[in-house]
Amino acid sequence: MATLLTVCTGNICRSPIAAMLLESQLSTEGLTVASAGTHPQEGAMMPRPAQAVAHRLGISSATYKRHRARMLRTADVDAAALILAMSRDHRRFIADIRPSARSKTFTIREFARLTRDLSEQDLRVLSRNTKEADLAERLSELAGLVASQRGKAHPPKAPGDDDIVDPYRKSRFVYRRSGTQLEDAARQTSLAIRTVLTT
């Protein structure tokens, strides 16, 4: 069993939508996609504008209405083979509570950006090298490969380009922008993960 964890602040907008997108795009047996928040109101539902974004992205109403916010715990960090934060602040929070998790923690846009600089051949070589490994090991190896791209790949035009914009209590335009960023990042992230896990 392998766990991919997405993290934001309240666990009611960005990280649950990211988790739902990744789960639908990966649907790999033995892979669990979970989400949590650094400062959530536990048990809170997704606000209506976030639900509207999820609906627009093709997530079923049964899925997004079932979601309840939950607190990120160190046990979640330890159990995850790959952690995708929604912003650099969340990535820093995770590194502060578990310094050893730095190499497996990225913002989702950072992960997508770094994997774009990896060729499909790079990913397929990794897949062949880890063919006998379980899913968690393969996902961990992918995280290590992507982490090795830090400092090599082209940097973002602005540091904030690695963040998903926080839409909470903002306009519907900001919610739509956040959703578009999540959709693009999840698509590239899923492509890289599928190449390694299913080849």
Cα–Cα dist 28/176, whole Å:
28
- What's residue 154's pLDDT? 83
- What's residue 129's pLDDT? 64
- What's residue 128's pLDDT? 66
Cα–Cα dist 94/85, whole Å:
9
Q: Report, as an integer, the average pLDDT of 68-94.
A: 98
Position with higher pLDDT, 35 vs 124: 35
Q: Report, as an integer, the average pLDDT of 83-94.
A: 98
Residue 165 scores a pLDDT above 90: yes
Q: Report, as an integer, the average pLDDT of 91-109.
A: 97
Residue 126 scores a pLDDT above 90: no
Overall domain count for the chain:
1
Cα–Cα dist 184/116, whole Å:
12
- What's residue 163's pLDDT? 98
Q: Report, as an integer, the average pLDDT of 176-192.
A: 97
Interhelix angle for 120-129 vs 135-147, to 10°? 140
Q: Give 199's pLDDT tier (boundaries 50, 70, 90).
A: low
pLDDT digits (tens, 9 = 90+) for 16-46: 999 999 999 998 778 999 999 999 999 999 9
Q: Look up the CATH number of the domain holding residue 72.
A: 3.40.50.2300
Cα–Cα dist 20/18, whole Å:
5
Record the pTM.
0.94
Domain assignment of residue 183, given as a range? 2-198
pLDDT digits (tens, 9 = 90+) for 147-158: 999 988 888 889
